Chains A and B, each alone.
Chain A
Amino acid sequence: MSFPEDLKYTENDEWVRVEGNKGTAGISDYAQEHLSDVVYVEIMPGEGDSFSKGDPVATIESVKAAADVYAPISGKIISVNEGLADNPELINTDPYGEAWMIRFEIADPSEFDGLMDVAAYKKVCEERDRS
């Protein structure tokens, strides 16, 4: 299972990549592994839409379950991954790359404090697997 060092993570298994005042988000390898084969994805906001931390931004359905993806921090959409709806299996094969979901302008950099670094996120995943 892959845990890239350069990303920030949430308790709900989203990742964020930060470049200057722009962010990119998707779901983690751990999340896709637990969802198993993804068959459907819908990204709700469109270009220019603002969203707050914790707002649902996408819905994912796998053969096992349906899950919501929440905004890891607040922002305004620059673009969404349009191709993902036709190829939801990208979430299984390349969760940190081709299966990015939203790119956005970061509204409030102080919200980074609420995110986890890779070590903290790894620990959360390990604890979950043990319980």
Chain B
Amino acid sequence: MTEPLIFELSSPGRKGVELPECDVPETPLPKDLIRDDLLLPELSEVDVVRHFTRLSQLNYGIDISAYPLGSCTMKYNPKVNEDAARLPGFAYTHPLQGPEEAQGNLLLMFELQEWLKEIGGFAGVSLQPAAGAHGELAGIMMIHAYHHDRKDDRRIKILIPDSAHGTNPASTAMGGFQSVEIPSDDRGNIDLEALRRECDGTVAGLMLTNPNTLGLFDEHVREIIELVHGCGGLMYGDGANMNALLGVVRPGDLGFDILHYNLHKTFSTPHGGGGPGSGPVGVSERLKDFLPGPIVEAVDEGDENRPPKFDLIFPRKSIGRVKAFHGHFGVMVKAYTYLRMIGKDGLRAVADHAVLNANYLRVRIRDAYRVPYDRICMHEFVAEGAWEDAPGIRALDVAKRLMDYGYHPPTNYFPLIVHEALMIEPTETESKESLDAFADAMIKIAGEAHTDPDVLHGAPHITAFGRMDEVRAAKQLVLRYVPKEKNQI
């Protein structure tokens, strides 16, 4: 089944709405702003509704089935979050309304800041960054501002383990630092000897994802932090994998100076095409003054007769604004709702079940797939999608075949330190039945890899489109619709 583009469904003169008679004087548009070459599809309402409904039926989402995309924490997003974000008081606030008129919104942002401080063990939080990598950049800019403020400008290196997300070295480079790769040891931890060799007066900081992308909690996290602090560097925590730690470990208590939270992963707001992210940053006491602004502060605590009063404040040495207006406010409402609904005990249960589910899956499939770092994992684990006695089968073939069994494939070919990696993160929202069904499919595919390799090479077979030509997709970019005949529209 294929679906034409909306432009291809267009028919000249067709309309979806009839605008009412104009009851105000017409104002002519400036001549130089009028274009006659602008392509707009012309369709009736029913054409549009059917088109997008059909497209949505070709789509796959967490509302359809499990979505074990490693490092992405594709947990189910409760619908009450959407209800709250659509409350008119939140949805219809204009970003240019002053604090006086938006006290309710500011209260929500203030409480979210306070909760994130408590969850991460930090002294301050800014909700500004738009997503995880944006939080990283804000963090790197704070590291720069902190050292610069101390007139310590010889610090040019950011240390990054080889299992890190690719965004870490990218943020480092954007922030003007050099990234230095630190290898992992054979248990999947940072190689402490290699780290020790790099720790000197030029280190600005280290970016650590803990648990890391192998799903492993670094067994030497305290030594790592001591080494980095010992040479004058700051500790950045990539909070992408925070789901495993909720209510169990607070990164701030371990000694992290900065951490970004992914509201869209850990706190159940839609992502992966379903909505924007949000990447608040938390910081330790010594970095509080450098937070991106504005942040929300209670300028008047209030009392029995007077409600508290909130305002938008720039911290004293703030790196400034990193986002227009107040960040992704709608996403904040959803994350706030999630926290309110789940509560303190619920948060701890999230981490417990996320870790339990990942370990259950790991043990269920480890006879069928090699798991290179086979120890108790956190929220995810990495298996190998290749076998010596099944030549020609790659992780990509396993991933594509999973689609025939009705699953979104796991992350593949990442982390780079595992050969033919399949990175699996079930999250806490899958039941035992759901985990078993997924494990059964994985085990079946491992069997097929040996008995019927062609069925894997040709997969997926039951989706609307078969195997894509990834090489052509990367080399021949088609980024914009161009009509076949100009007079068609």
Which A residues form the contact surface with B (CB < 8 A)? Answer: 34, 36-37, 39-40, 61, 63-66, 89, 128-129, 131
- Which residues of the partner chain B approach A39 to less than 8 Å between Cβ atoms? 471, 474-475
Return 22 A-B CB contacts under 8 Å, by A number: A34-B419, A36-B394, A37-B470, A37-B471, A39-B471, A39-B474, A39-B475, A40-B474, A40-B475, A61-B474, A63-B470, A63-B471, A63-B474, A64-B413, A65-B413, A65-B416, A66-B166, A89-B471, A128-B419, A129-B419, A131-B186, A131-B372
Q: How far is the CA of A99 from the CA of B199 in the complex (A)?
A: 38
Q: How far is the CA of A61 from the CA of B394 in the complex (A)?
A: 18
- Which residues of the partner chain A approach B413 to less than 8 Å between Cβ atoms? 64-65
Seed contacts A39-B474, A131-B186; 11 additional CB < 8 Å A-B pairs? A36-B394, A37-B471, A39-B471, A40-B475, A61-B474, A63-B471, A63-B474, A64-B413, A65-B413, A65-B416, A129-B419
Q: Which residues B406-450 have CB closer than 8 A to chain A?
A: 413, 416, 419
Q: How far is the CA of A129 from the CA of B474 in the complex (A)?
A: 28
Which B residues form the contact surface with A (CB < 8 A)? Answer: 166, 186, 372, 394, 413, 416, 419, 470-471, 474-475
Q: How far is the CA of A34 from the CA of B413 in the complex (A)?
A: 10
Q: How far is the CB of A19 from chain B (nearest CB, A)?
A: 33
- Which residues of the partner chain B approach A129 to less than 8 Å between Cβ atoms? 419
Q: How far is the CB of B416 from chain A (nearest CB, A)?
A: 6
- Which residues of the partner chain B approach A89 to less than 8 Å between Cβ atoms? 471
Q: How far is the CB of A126 from chain B (nearest CB, A)?
A: 13
- Which residues of the partner chain A approach B166 to less than 8 Å between Cβ atoms? 66
- Which residues of the partner chain B approach A64 to less than 8 Å between Cβ atoms? 413
Q: How far is the CA of A61 from the CA of B372 in the complex (A)?
A: 25
- Which residues of the partner chain A approach B471 to less than 8 Å between Cβ atoms? 37, 39, 63, 89
- Which residues of the partner chain A approach B475 to less than 8 Å between Cβ atoms? 39-40
Q: Residue on B with the closest CB to A38?
A: B471
Majority-rule SS of B interface residues: loop
Q: How far is the CA of A44 from the CA of B451 in the complex (A)?
A: 46
How many A-B pairs have beta carbons closer than 8 Å: the answer is: 22
- Which residues of the partner chain B approach A65 to less than 8 Å between Cβ atoms? 413, 416
Q: How far is the CA of A64 from the CA of B413 in the complex (A)?
A: 6
Q: How far is the CA of A36 from the CA of B470 in the complex (A)?
A: 11
Q: How far is the CA of A129 from the CA of B419 in the complex (A)?
A: 8
- Which residues of the partner chain B approach A66 to less than 8 Å between Cβ atoms? 166
Which of A39, A64, A66, A129 has its CB near the most chain B CB atoms (within 10 A)? A64
- Which residues of the partner chain A approach B474 to less than 8 Å between Cβ atoms? 39-40, 61, 63
Q: Residue on B with the closest CB to A34?
A: B419
Q: How far is the CA of A40 from the CA of B470 in the complex (A)?
A: 13
Q: How far is the CA of A49 from the CA of B419 in the complex (A)?
A: 35
Q: How far is the CB of B53 from chain A (nearest CB, A)?
A: 32
Q: How far is the CB of A60 from chain B (nearest CB, A)?
A: 12
Q: How far is the CA of A119 from the CA of B186 in the complex (A)?
A: 24
Q: How far is the CB of B388 from chain A (nearest CB, A)?
A: 9
Q: How far is the CA of A95 from the CA of B387 in the complex (A)?
A: 25
- Which residues of the partner chain A approach B394 to less than 8 Å between Cβ atoms? 36
Q: How far is the CA of A89 from the CA of B475 in the complex (A)?
A: 11
Q: How far is the CA of A131 from the CA of B419 in the complex (A)?
A: 9
Q: Residue on B with the closest CB to A64?
A: B413
- Which residues of the partner chain A approach B372 to less than 8 Å between Cβ atoms? 131
Q: How far is the CA of A63 from the CA of B475 in the complex (A)?
A: 10
- Which residues of the partner chain A approach B416 to less than 8 Å between Cβ atoms? 65
- Which residues of the partner chain B approach A34 to less than 8 Å between Cβ atoms? 419
Which of A63, A129, A131 has its CB near the most chain B CB atoms (within 10 A)? A63
Q: How far is the CB of B184 from chain A (nearest CB, A)?
A: 11
Q: How far is the CB of B165 from chain A (nearest CB, A)?
A: 13
Q: How far is the CB of B397 from chain A (nearest CB, A)?
A: 12
Q: How far is the CA of A64 from the CA of B471 in the complex (A)?
A: 10
Q: Residue on A with the closest CB to B474?
A: A39
Q: How far is the CA of A29 from the CA of B386 in the complex (A)?
A: 19
Q: How far is the CB of A43 from chain B (nearest CB, A)?
A: 18
Closest 8 CB pairs of A and B: A39-B474, A63-B470, A64-B413, A37-B471, A39-B475, A39-B471, A65-B416, A63-B474
Q: How far is the CA of A36 from the CA of B392 in the complex (A)?
A: 12
Q: How far is the CA of A39 from the CA of B474 in the complex (A)?
A: 6
Q: How far is the CA of A126 from the CA of B394 in the complex (A)?
A: 18
Q: Residue on A with the closest CB to B471?
A: A37
Q: How far is the CA of A89 from the CA of B394 in the complex (A)?
A: 19
Q: How far is the CB of B468 from chain A (nearest CB, A)?
A: 10
Q: How far is the CA of A65 from the CA of B412 in the complex (A)?
A: 10
Q: Residue on A with the closest CB to B186?
A: A131
- Which residues of the partner chain B approach A40 to less than 8 Å between Cβ atoms? 474-475
Q: How far is the CA of A34 from the CA of B372 in the complex (A)?
A: 17
Q: How far is the CB of B164 from chain A (nearest CB, A)?
A: 14
- Which residues of the partner chain B approach A128 to less than 8 Å between Cβ atoms? 419
Q: How far is the CA of A36 from the CA of B416 in the complex (A)?
A: 13
Q: How far is the CA of A39 from the CA of B470 in the complex (A)?
A: 9
Q: How far is the CA of A63 from the CA of B471 in the complex (A)?
A: 7
Q: How far is the CA of A129 from the CA of B388 in the complex (A)?
A: 10
Q: How far is the CB of B214 from chain A (nearest CB, A)?
A: 14
Q: How far is the CA of A65 from the CA of B419 in the complex (A)?
A: 12
Q: How far is the CB of B197 from chain A (nearest CB, A)?
A: 15
Q: How far is the CB of B409 from chain A (nearest CB, A)?
A: 14
- Which residues of the partner chain A approach B419 to less than 8 Å between Cβ atoms? 34, 128-129
Q: How far is the CB of A127 from chain B (nearest CB, A)?
A: 12
- Which residues of the partner chain B approach A63 to less than 8 Å between Cβ atoms? 470-471, 474
Q: How far is the CA of A66 from the CA of B474 in the complex (A)?
A: 13
